[in-house]
Chain A
Amino acid sequence: MDDALHAVFLDETLPLAAQVEHGLLRIERDAAALDDAWRVLLGALHTIKGNCGMVGLDAAQGLAHAMEQQVREVRRWPTTAQEHAVQTMLATADLLRRTVATGETPAEEAARAVEQLLELSPTEAPRAEVSPAASPAGDDVIGPVGTVRVESSTLDRLLESTADLATWLDRLRAAIDHAPVEPLERAIRRLAELRDAVLGLRLVPLSTLLVRYERLVRDLGRATGKRAVMVVTGGDIGVDKHVIDRLGEPLLHMIRNAIDHGLESPVERTRAGKPETGTITVAATARGGILNLVVRDDGRGIDPARLAAAAERRGIDTRGWGAARLLELVFASEVSTAEVVTELSGRGVGLDQARRALERLGGSVQVSSTRGAGTELQIRVPLVVAVQRSLVVSCGGALFGIPFTSVVEAVRIPRDDVTSEGAPWRETRIPALDLAQLLELGATEPAARLTCVVIDRPELPVALVVDGLRGHHDLMVGDLDPVFGQPRGITGVAALADGSIVAVLDPLAVATT
């Protein structure tokens, strides 16, 4: 098959295959959602059949055809018979997706699957448990949605060029002595529009990521002897592909953890007066350029008292810690603490890495939990990672960007008022930390008044002392090359319009090291 044709085929067909899975899961979960779900399912199967036929994937075409036929039948069957049929079809959907993705046709496997489909009957009792999917769901790449296929690296280059062009226009403006020239001003405005449009091209519906987990939740639940479903809201929110790509791993850890350690067994749940099937909710909302994601389970919750007891056994003094601070231990990266947490609730594994991954995105995650009722992780990440509205500060001869999402305000405080007790701020005192010292930069400029950036924190804000403020900027943040190691607290880099380089900080990570 010719490469371009194949690319189009994949773009069109893979999302449809995901839709088939999604539709089957919907039917399995909720018999009332039927009509609409069946219609979508049939539509997707029909198109897959046609697409596979066009590119000569005969076995896949046969599979899709058999499924389509059976779906029409099954729709009229009693619920109990439907349940079994849906199981079989999920296995077939898996095979179909693999066949489409790889272009390889395991003929025998396909024939067997068709046979199994045709054997389905409305009266026959389910004979044996259908073997679980051969490949774990969630690994496959779900192709981008849409009809024009563009490499995302091409979009990045386009974005870089626009940024560069903006720099040159600014220089041009400076070179002609700041007298406003209408055509130039127009060009600058149009360029800003262009940049927004290019950024918009990179937005992908969040659901392209979340559909992968729907299957995972079901399969993982079964593997651990639990019953679990996933409920998603806000899947239609458009998110930068960069963010989507980097959200995958951390979300996977969180969802796994919720099922492995959050949810109880069906017996336990019944005893606690809960429905047998546990629910993992992923709720997304977007506001002001920020994607808020809540990952919630309705499981047993985390007991802070037990966390404290275990931490103390390992020599961590937790006296005076509030529940919120104790819960933070689930993100602890020190091995000993992670072990404590793992032993108790299993929450330690992976969550520290998940938090770091989110921090690198310029995001954050917080945990809350109610004993007996469940655990909730609140994730905040920028919708578009490339542009981060930031306060740029100078310190020790270098420039740093502090994301707006974490800045409360910037204030000047007389040097003499800042003591080891911290800095006075809004009728209270908050800790004051010298950014130059934290980052081991050169000496700061002596001044009678200290410039402090007040950083939002769950408990008490903290003031970062810097040399000066350089204003607000929309930073186009790029990743730091791996050669830098992973400097804690540095989430990315960007260039200002004048070409100077800014290291973007996660101020909390900087302050807590």
Chain B
Amino acid sequence: MSAAGYVTFSVGGSELALDLAPVQEVLRVGPIAPIPRAARRARGLTRVRGRLVAVVDVAVALGLPVPPVTDQSRILLVTRGARLLGLLVDRVHALRPSAEDDTPELLDLDHLLGAG
């Protein structure tokens, strides 16, 4: 279990948590440019301080219903080796220092993004 804690969020009607260690920051959703012929889970590219970042639609990736982007929606910016990716979620709830009984299911980044 991570010492850094967890961030909890909702996506596609489900509550989930993510290890904080790879999370760089939580961003409001800016313009996202879709890429034609891309895998469905890849929502598109957004610009974060001059850098182009792939945005993963977590709801699509997990096969959950996909609600529209609202002003509650957030992008969790995560690092993965040399990769920098954004995870699009419906709403971010809280940071938790440690796992408790009511901590929701942990999001598996390996499964979501592929290894590496």
User: Which A residues are closer than 8 A to B by beta carbons?
Assistant: 153, 160-161, 163-164, 167, 398-399, 439-441, 478, 480-485, 487-490, 493-495, 499-501, 503
One of A167, A439, A500 near B50 (C-beta < 8 A): A167
Q: Is the CB of B39 within 8 A of A501?
A: no
A185-B37 Cα distance, complex, nearest whole Å: 40
Do A483 and B42 contact each other (CB < 8 Å), given the known contacts A439-B37, A503-B36? yes
Q: Is the CB of A499 within 8 A of B47?
A: yes
- The yes or no answer to B94 lying at the interface (CB within 8 A) is no
A500-B45 Cα distance, complex, nearest whole Å: 10
A494-B82 Cα distance, complex, nearest whole Å: 18
A493-B41 Cα distance, complex, nearest whole Å: 18
Top-9 shortest CB links A-B: A164-B50, A487-B37, A485-B39, A481-B54, A439-B36, A501-B33, A484-B38, A484-B42, A487-B38
Q: Is the CB of A487 within 8 A of B50?
A: no
CB proximity of B42 to chain A, nearest CB, Å = 4
Do A440 and B36 contact each other (CB < 8 Å), given the known contacts A482-B114, A483-B114? yes
- The yes or no answer to B67 lying at the interface (CB within 8 A) is no
User: What are 22 residue pairs bridging A and B, where the CB atoms are less than 8 Å apart in the complex?
Assistant: A160-B51, A439-B37, A440-B36, A441-B36, A481-B42, A481-B54, A483-B56, A483-B85, A484-B38, A484-B42, A485-B37, A485-B39, A489-B37, A490-B37, A493-B35, A494-B52, A495-B47, A495-B52, A500-B33, A501-B47, A501-B52, A503-B36
A441-B37 Cα distance, complex, nearest whole Å: 10
Q: Is the CB of B35 within 8 A of A480?
A: yes
Q: Is the CB of B41 within 8 A of A398?
A: no
Residues in A whose Cβ lies below 8 Å from that of B33: 398-399, 500-501, 503
Instruction: Using CB atoms, name the residue of chain B closest to A396.
Output: B36
- Contact pattern, B 23-66, Cβ under 8 Å of A = 1, otherwise 0: 00000000001111111011001010111101010000000000
Do A398 and B34 contact each other (CB < 8 Å), given the known contacts A482-B114, A485-B39? yes
- The yes or no answer to B111 lying at the interface (CB within 8 A) is no
